[in-house]
Structure 1
Amino acid sequence: MTWAATVLTLYPDMFPGPLGHSLAGRALQEGTWSLETVQIRDFATDRHRSVDDTPAGGGAGMVMRADVLARAVDHALERAPAAPLLVMSPRGAPLTQALVRDLAAGPGVSILCGRFEGMDERLFEARPIVPVSIGDYILSGGETAAIVLLDACVRLLPGVMGQPSSGEEESFETGLLEYPHYTRPYEWEGRRIPEVLRSGDHAKIAAWRKARAIEDTRLRRPDLIARHGDARRPPPSGARREDEGEDR
């Protein structure tokens, strides 16, 4: 069954954008997933196709109207009742690889993209919408964030990546950052590939990779350590960095 994405936006021409290239683009052409955009302005009722108004209580900017958005949302819910409905918002819960896996395993997703100062809060009280954030920063609109979410999901669909195992050891799949990678030439600008990776001993290589993943996570993302129990345990046997000076 095709994994179906619906994006509610004021700028449908932004799609598929990057999603029309590389793995996601090929999968879109092959019908592994589908993408439909819905123009929110089509659900406005005045001759100016207005979707926003001044904020109640005063303040800068404009706020997207609940009545217009609700009609667009109802359209999406009617078209894809089984798909979760998300809104890309800095006020949402952080997007995680666990959520991405759950979404990729389902029938698809509908995404509402905001603009201006935000959306009338009553919309979230009246409709089953889940706010999701891709980070602690502000974008001009939800479209870029929606592209990030869709790319993360599409690459996990069956057959999209060349080998099903390609994503199993990537960053966040185990709660840790991914271990570092190396390739030819063996020596480059005086820096050598760690000898353990040339040893042919798969157990030692696996142990080294696990230890490096833990070490790099401790240094770069200590917030992840508290959420990953294995990272508190001693490194596996043989994982010590015998090549300490060689991969610098």
Structure 2
Amino acid sequence: MRIDIISAVPALLQGPLDHSIVKNAIDKDLVEIHIHDLRDHTEDKHNKIDDYPYGGGAGMVLTAQPIFSCIEMLTDEREYDEIIFTAPDGKVFDQADANTLSLKKNIIILCGHYKGVDQRVRDALITSEYSIGDYVLSGGELPAMVIADAIVRLIPGAMGDSASALDDSFQDGLLDAPVYTRPNTFKGLKVPEVLLSGDPKKVTQWKREQSLKRTKERREDLYKKFKKEH
């Protein structure tokens, strides 16, 4: 898989790529992640990539030219399955989206910044738009890394235990059950006996019950959706 990330502030993207599962996947050649600085593609003599919005209003807007130039350069080199824009008004990114995108070959993620991007970019180039929640950040770099991380960890071989991703919260529409590790008693707090029983059937049943209980208590919206579908 190849992920190209286009940013007005590319330095914001470096740290998350140098650690944990994403770095492991890069080192194993399971994924290529390339970061592109919009300023490398501007034709403005002052190296500007933003301008004031037509019609007035506060804030600046990323101009169309450097974005079109960067994306056209990339799409001339290879075909892309998705060109994603991170935006507060996009679809809220969820596990199903991560699952779908993890099966793609080439993806571009354009990071929003300032007040946004010229709408012509969104109309002409973007195939999917995602938000990571109902709040506003300084830019789309953090959402881009959230999306990239969620995708990469699903690539076979990226995680030490590939089956672990299948047990994550949201994979089946529910939150995960509580988890415990050694010792079985700590400061008087004990691990549930069923997890020490060695009975896989009972353990599976307990985990399912706890998953349903936790989802109902903490995410009633997910619980209702799950019950409706099942």
TM normalised by structure 2 equals 0.94
Among candidates 109, 115, 118, match of residue 107 of structure 2: 109
Output aligned runs, 1:197-216, within 5 Å.
Answer: 197-216=195-214
Question: Is this contact kept in 2: 1:114–1:142, CA < 8 A?
Answer: yes
Separation in structure 2 between the aligned mates of residue 79 and residue 222 of structure 1, nearest angstrom: 46
- CA distance change for structure 1 residues 110 and 40 in 2, over 3 Å: closer, same or farther? same
Helix, strand or coil: the match of 1:168? helix
User: Which residue of 2 is the match for residue 55 of structure 1?
Assistant: 53
Q: Does 1:7 align with 2:19?
A: no
Question: Is this contact kept in 2: 1:225–1:231, CA < 8 A?
Answer: no
Helix, strand or coil: the match of 1:76? helix
Shift of 1:15: 3.3
Q: Does 1:86 align with 2:84?
A: yes
Q: Which has the larger radius of gyration?
A: 1
Shift of 1:195: 0.8
Q: Does 1:176 align with 2:174?
A: yes
Separation in structure 2 between the aligned mates of residue 58 and residue 132 of structure 1, nearest angstrom: 26
Separation in structure 2 between the aligned mates of residue 106 and residue 196 of structure 1, nearest angstrom: 40
User: Which residue of 2 is the match for residue 164 of structure 1?
Assistant: 162
Provide runs of 4+ in structure 1 moved above 6 Å. none
Shift of 1:227: 2.3
Shift of 1:231: 8.3
Shift of 1:230: 7.4
Q: Determine what percentage of the aligned residue pairs are the same residue.
A: 36
Select the structure that is richer in helix. 2
Separation in structure 2 between the aligned mates of residue 110 and residue 198 of structure 1, nearest angstrom: 46
Shift of 1:209: 0.4
The alignment's C-alpha RMSD in Å is 1.6
Separation in structure 2 between the aligned mates of residue 215 and residue 77 of structure 1, nearest angstrom: 47
Separation in structure 2 between the aligned mates of residue 231 and residue 214 of structure 1, nearest angstrom: 14
Greater relative CO (CA pairs within 8 A, separation 6+): 2
Output aligned runs, 1:208-247, within 5 Å.
Answer: 208-229=206-227
Helix, strand or coil: the match of 1:16? helix
- Where structure 2 has 5 or more consecutive residues not aligned to the other structure, the ranges are none
User: Which residue of 2 is the match for residue 45 of structure 1?
Assistant: 43
Output aligned runs, 1:85-164, within 5 Å.
Answer: 85-164=83-162
Question: Is this contact kept in 1: 2:80–2:108, CA < 8 A?
Answer: no
Helix, strand or coil: the match of 2:167? coil
